[in-house]
Amino acid sequence: MNGSEAMVHTLLAGDVDVCFANPGTSEMHFVSALDRAPKMRCVLGLFEGVVTGAADGYYRMAEKPAATLLHLGPGLGNGLANLHNAKRAYSGIVNIVGQHALDHIHNNAPLNSDVEAVARPMSNWVKTTMSATAAPLDTAEAISQARSTPGRVATLVLPANCAWEASDPGNYSTAPAQTAAAPLVESIVAMAKLLSNPSTAAQTTLLLGGSALRAKSTLLAGKIAAHTGCKLASEPRNPRMERGRGRVNIDSLPFPVLGAVEMLKDTKHLVLIGSANPVAFFAYPDKPRMVKQPDCEVHQLATLTHDIEATLQALADALGAQNTAPAQFSNGSIITDLPTGTATADNLGIVIAACMPENAILVDEAVTSGRQFGKYTPQAAPHDVIDITGGSIGFGLPAAVGAAIACPDRKVVAVIGDGSSMYTIQSLWTMAREQLDVTVVICANRTYKILRGELANMGGPAPGISAARMLDLDGPYLDFVSIAKGHGVPGVQVTTLEALTKELRIAAKEKGPRLIELVM
């Protein structure tokens, strides 16, 4: 047994049975080892950003890590943007990154680089294995890191000789997954006291993030809010939210800084539950850096290391809120009056919500076109939403790949901006090859519309000729139907909301990948 084979056996022993890959010469022994491991599902991505983004989407839905296989420093570098999103989402990933053989590194071959230095900013844990014997032990450590609570991006650098040399065929089992920490009793008692006072409760907002946005936890938060009169909000971008009819649907803090400030303007007590102290997404010359008011007191009830559902349960019990009807509960009303005509950011969400299949997974990278989705998805069928946590675009299509592989029995609906889609458009090919049940809606407003707004927010003048050429996607327009066909995915272009409704309803009934280009 060589080092690669021992590593693959260790991955499978640690319940890592999917590998998203874009390998090169240095990884061929690992590829061969994967070939002899039929329990490992190997998924090829045509660009490393597809590979890392798919691993992120997979973790969010499967709740366990996948592996990636990447080629040296440049290959890892190509995948860093989506590793940034994964790290911000606390997604567990085991990256296997090839390196030159240890006795060849000093020769400074053309593809030589400091792989650890490339990995470190977007990883929580980085290590280079130094022998074939150590390789499976290091793999077990990487798996344990990825399975932490919350998840971590673990990057293991594999020199080629450590992949091909003989290794100990022993049983390298991984440590059990780390369990969440128990609720903080003192914090719960203090928060129950704060919320038992009607005047302070009315000035309190519970800010939820991470697993606090799963249905069981949001139900408890809704009961606490209804019982005490406090407000609820979620972080602007979240790894996974369970929303729709029959659930408590919590509004996210808006992306525009002044909108977020407005939402929290009356909050004197901000309670963090799996969330971070909210800050403006960017610094603007004349806008605040922090979203909360200067006199707002911040309380940490639970971090992502804690059992958040148990924390909320304990707080509800301490308040006597267990039998209270929850606030912000969607009572089951279904959208029947659908808009027609040209799609806009204001009406697109109505059609998406109305046409969402039961138990679907909504991947939201619609950027400006999707800002109203949260307003209408409470009326959709129960579904999950996964979002672009780190703000690095090119996330949505790869995340849809990973989500579809994690949940093959669920429809994935990916709503993506036209500019964002081109960062990782190769994802369409993987969808076709794996025959994934993904419906892609491209919002083709034919511009980086968000950047036009940001130019104004930064105090810049109206764009002239040169600025417009950097912000608009025209001359030529992108033909997404042809692009999809070239990747093996059937596509159709629509120009009205009624045509979009028709295509979404067809897609809901049929399996397999398809693309709808919505001209806006």
Residues 298, 364: one domain?
no
Side chain identity at residue 294, one-letter code: P
How far apart, in whole angstroms, are the C-alpha atoms of residue 201 and residue 206? 10
Nearest to 67 by CA among 116, 149, 9, 115: 9
Q: Are 54 and 399 in contact (CB under 8 A)?
A: yes
How far apart, in whole angstroms, are the C-alpha atoms of residue 388 and residue 192? 33
Helix (H, G, I), strand (E, B) or coil at 367: helix
pLDDT of 368 reads 84
Nearest to 423 by CA among 53, 75, 88: 53
pLDDT of 517 reads 98
The answer to whether residue 452 scores a pLDDT higher than 90 is no
How far apart, in whole angstroms, are the C-alpha atoms of residue 199 and residue 206? 15
Residues 401, 302: one domain?
no
pLDDT of 332 reads 77
* Domain total of the chain: 3
- Provide the β-strand partners of residue 70: 22, 97
**Beta-strand runs (E) in 303-449:** 360-365, 383-387, 412-417, 438-444
pLDDT of 333 reads 84
Structure tokens at 238: 């979240």
pLDDT of 459 reads 82
The answer to whether residue 451 scores a pLDDT higher than 90 is no
CATH number for 195: 3.40.50.1220
How far apart, in whole angstroms, are the C-alpha atoms of residue 40 and residue 13? 11
How far apart, in whole angstroms, are the C-alpha atoms of residue 265 and residue 275? 18
pLDDT of 455 reads 83
Residues 219, 251: one domain?
yes
Nearest to 356 by CA among 435, 414, 428: 414
Residues 217, 275: one domain?
yes
Mean pLDDT of 15-35: 98
Residue 339 resides in a domain: no
Mean pLDDT of 38-51: 98
Residues 126, 190: one domain?
no
The three-point CA angle 211-200-274 to 5° equals 15
Helix (H, G, I), strand (E, B) or coil at 297: strand
Taking only the tens place, the pLDDT of each residue in 85-96 is 999 999 999 999
Taking only the tens place, the pLDDT of each residue in 289-316 is 999 999 999 999 999 999 999 999 999 9
Q: What is the DSSP letter of 71?
A: -
pTM for this structure? Answer: 0.95
pLDDT of 16 reads 98
> In terms of C-beta density within 10 A (0-12 exposed, 13-18 middle, 19 or more buried), how is residue 44 classed?
middle
Mean pLDDT of 242-258: 96
Structure tokens at 224: 């606490």
Nearest to 444 by CA among 398, 482, 487, 388: 482
Residues 157, 203: one domain?
no
The three-point CA angle 395-397-398 to 5° equals 70
How far apart, in whole angstroms, are the C-alpha atoms of residue 471 and residue 446? 9
Please report which helix (H) or strand (E) contains residue 86, including its range: helix 80-88
Task: Please name the residue ranges forming H helices in 410-516.
Answer: 418-421, 427-434, 449-457, 465-471, 480-486, 497-509
Residues 88, 192: one domain?
no
Residue 72 resides in a domain: yes
**Which sign, positive or negative, has the C-alpha torsion 228, 229, 234, 239?**
positive
Residues 94, 196: one domain?
no
Q: What is the DSSP letter of 486?
A: H
Taking only the tens place, the pLDDT of each residue in 346-357 is 999 999 999 999
Residue 171 resides in a domain: no
Three-class SS of 238-303: CCCEEECCCCECCCECCCCHHHHHHHCCCCCEEEEECCCCCECCCCCCCCCCECCCCCCEEEEEEC
Residues 388, 511: one domain?
yes
Task: Tell me the residue range of the domain where 504 lies.
Answer: 348-519
Taking only the tens place, the pLDDT of each residue in 427-440 is 999 999 999 999 99
Name the average pLDDT for the chain.
95
**What is the Cα 395 distance to its own chain's centre?**
7
Residue 480 resides in a domain: yes
Q: Report residue 171's pLDDT band, with 50, 70 and 90 as the boundaries.
A: low
Domain end point (choices 298, 319, 340): 319
Q: Report residue 212's pLDDT band, with 50, 70 and 90 as the boundaries.
A: very high
Residue 174 resides in a domain: no
Mean pLDDT of 232-246: 97
Residues 264, 400: one domain?
no
CATH number for 49: 3.40.50.970
The answer to whether residue 486 scores a pLDDT higher than 80 is yes
Taking only the tens place, the pLDDT of each residue in 45-85 is 999 999 999 999 999 999 999 999 999 999 999 999 999 99
Residue 178 resides in a domain: no
The answer to whether residue 40 scores a pLDDT higher than 90 is yes
DSSP 3-state helix, strand, coil percentages of the chain (rounded to 5)? 40, 20, 40
Residues 425, 302: one domain?
no
Residue with tokens 């491209």, as numbered in its chain: 442
Mean pLDDT of 510-515: 98
pLDDT of 468 reads 86
Residues 133, 215: one domain?
no
Residue 325 resides in a domain: no
Q: Are 143 and 174 in contact (CB under 8 A)?
A: yes
